[in-house]
Amino acid sequence: DIQMTQSPSSLSASVGDRVTITCRASQGINAWFAWYQQKPDKAPKSLIYATSNLESGVPSRFSGSGSGTDFTLTISSLQPEDFATYYCQQYGSYPPTFGGGTKVEIK
Amino acid sequence: EVQLLESGGGLVQPGGSLRLSCAGSGFTFSNYALNWVRQAPGKGLEWVSSIFGSDGSTYYADSVKGRFTISRDNSRNTVYLQMNTLRAEDTAVYYCAKAWGSVSYYIDYWGQGTLVTVSS
């Protein structure tokens, strides 16, 4: 199985900050890579698919990039509603696997 | 609007069984793969099982293989997860999740989740 390691596991940032979350795969994967956002006591929400494509309705301050083993989620200007935990997922290799999550707290 | 509504969660003793249901609406149900993803209390997301829309092929995480069975009834727009020989470590919120296509593990819509508690 491909292991996904997210970093950091948590971070604290101010409104307006640029935030970057990284996910590293245990082996090279193709572009079938996604990011999800989960707010407390809510179901996850899909943000980005195929490494860099935003789901409909997702604000443009979110972006994704990467290739090989290293993938990144960037929030260009953090907003109060972005307080959440973010998960990466590779879905190109069976079984699909998730990262451990990154909790983003607002300073 | 895509909606997924899970039901069937609850408290069950170790070794017991439970069947989860998920009713989908707002999309052509038979055309899409459906997934179950779980989240233990305070933990991250774990893929549990998938059933493809194209041919009904089924797939399972090693942690549930041989104990859980996923199935679908396209006439009822419903996917099921039969869970047998439940263990304490199966305690989690179980999310039903629609895949992007008929043969895909990418999830574009999630249900609200149903809590399964395995305890004596």
The pLDDT score that the predictor gives to residue A107 is: 87
Q: pLDDT for A6-36, tens place per residue?
A: 999 999 999 999 999 999 999 998 899 999 9
Mean model confidence pLDDT for chain A: 96
Q: Which of A49, A85, A102 to mutate to test the interface with B (most CBs of B within 10 A)?
A: A49
The pLDDT score that the predictor gives to residue B104 is: 87
Query: To the nearest whole angstrom, how far is the Cα of A53 from the nearest Cα of chain B?
Result: 12
pLDDT over 90 at A2, yes or no: yes
Q: pLDDT for B14-33, tens place per residue?
A: 999 999 999 999 999 999 99
CB atoms closer than 10 angstroms to residue A80: 7
Tell me how far apart the alpha carbons of residues B86 and B43 are, in angstroms, rounded to a whole number: 19
B16, B108 contact by CB (below 8 A): no
Tell me the pLDDT band of B110, cut-offs 50, 70 and 90. very high
Q: Which positions in chain A touch B62 (Cβ < 8 Å)?
A: 95
Interface of A with B in 2-31 (CB under 8 A): none
Which whole-number Å values give the CA distances from B54 to A42, A49, B29, B74, B105, in the listed order?
Answer: 30, 21, 11, 12, 13
Q: pLDDT for B87-100, tens place per residue?
A: 999 999 999 999 99
Mean model confidence pLDDT for chain B: 97
The pLDDT score that the predictor gives to residue B103 is: 87
Interface of B with A in 30-69 (CB under 8 A): 37, 44-47, 50, 59, 61-62
pLDDT over 80 at B54, yes or no: no
Asked if B100 is an interface residue toward chain A (Cβ–Cβ < 8 A), one would say: yes
Ranking A45-49, A91-95, B76-80 by mean pLDDT, the lowest is A91-95
The pLDDT score that the predictor gives to residue A30 is: 87
